[in-house]
Amino acid sequence: MMRIVFIWCLLMSALGLQAQKLKVESLQLSEGETIAESERRLDKVQNQCAVLKVKMPDVLMRMEGNVIGEIVRRGNEAWVYITSGSKYFRLFPARHMPMDLAFPDYQVKVKSGCVYRLVLADEEEGAGMGADELFATGMSSYLGEDYAQAVPWFERAMKKGSVNAMMYLGNMYHHGQGVERNDKLFFYYTLMAAQSGQSRAQQEMFYIYRFGHGTQKDSLKAVDWLKKAVEQKNPDAYGQLCWCYMEGWGVEKNMTKAAELARKGAEAGDYEVAMVNLAMMYDAGEGVEKSHEKALEWLQKSAKLGGMKAKKLLDAYAEDEFSNRQPKRSFNDLWPEVIGNDD
């Protein structure tokens, strides 16, 4: 038996086909349905056979078990004559993987002369996989920029409770990756992930409410979600909440609180926002004691880790030093020219 299945799989592979599995949608006695006398069959001991009527998205080529005679085709059904008391069968479809069928699994007892109906459907790819495995499969396609392939895997993972899949799906709808761009769905999926406690999604909700993607702009809700991300020690959220306190956006302006958040974010490794914010605060003496040396130190740390704003500021500062420009400009003086209105 295993040899037959192995040869079948080799054949499918040689033909370049990827065999799908089938799943049982229903297996039950067809109450009140009888077999016409002209269509009846007897088993080897002259008892009337039961009939299993199979409906499936394929052609049933063969069925092993207590089967009597050949399979009969009736429209989109295959009729299989089986003996009373039969329990276990193996089905061989033309294009799908062979499958085993156990009547006891469905609380069905085969009786002489009765009609049974079996409905089979394509099993969703990855049906036997857990949420994490489904998400990892989707990520493999996503990182390979095969976004159309990533979407169904993320959807399957989400159905099994993957919060990360919710967040990635939201972002894909925002950027139109593998799907048509839809900021309503960006908002919906990200909100679900954020409500489930995903800190990156909570941080993303700040972005959504700040710029009004798929919903109305709302600074209070934006800051509220950002605070939730900070409570979970999301390193990137510190710098953004620091900016809110620096600008008085959604909260009362508080440079001391801003500096505290910037330091926590910088120490957690946020080189793009927190380190730069902390450097600018040292440069201006806002929320902290003024120190050009510490401002320079944090910008250098940021640039070393790949911070582009820090690198631009340091390059402009070095150019001023080289040209001996007078009066000397602080990093805050350089910001409008080098960075502009980029927050």
Two structure tokens written together for 10:
């080799």
Pair 101, 86: CB distance under 8 Å: no
pLDDT at 325 over 90: no
- Asked if 76 and 60 touch (Cβ cutoff 8 Å), the reply is no
| Residue 208, pLDDT score | 97
CB 49, CB 42: distance < 8 Å: yes
| DSSP designation for 270 | -
**What pTM did the predictor assign?**
0.66
Are 303 and 314 spatial neighbours (Cβ–Cβ below 8 Å)? yes
pLDDT above 50 for 155: yes
pLDDT digits (tens, 9 = 90+) for 104-140: 999 999 999 999 999 998 877 777 788 999 999 999 9
For residues 82 and 287, give the distance between their C-alpha atoms in angstroms, rounded to a whole number: 84
Tell me the C-alpha distance between 169 and 97, whole Å: 31
What average pLDDT does the segment 155-159 reach? Answer: 91
Quick one: tokens of 74? Answer: 């009736």
Which residue bears the tokens 């139109």?
Answer: 176
Determine the pLDDT at residue 74. Answer: 87
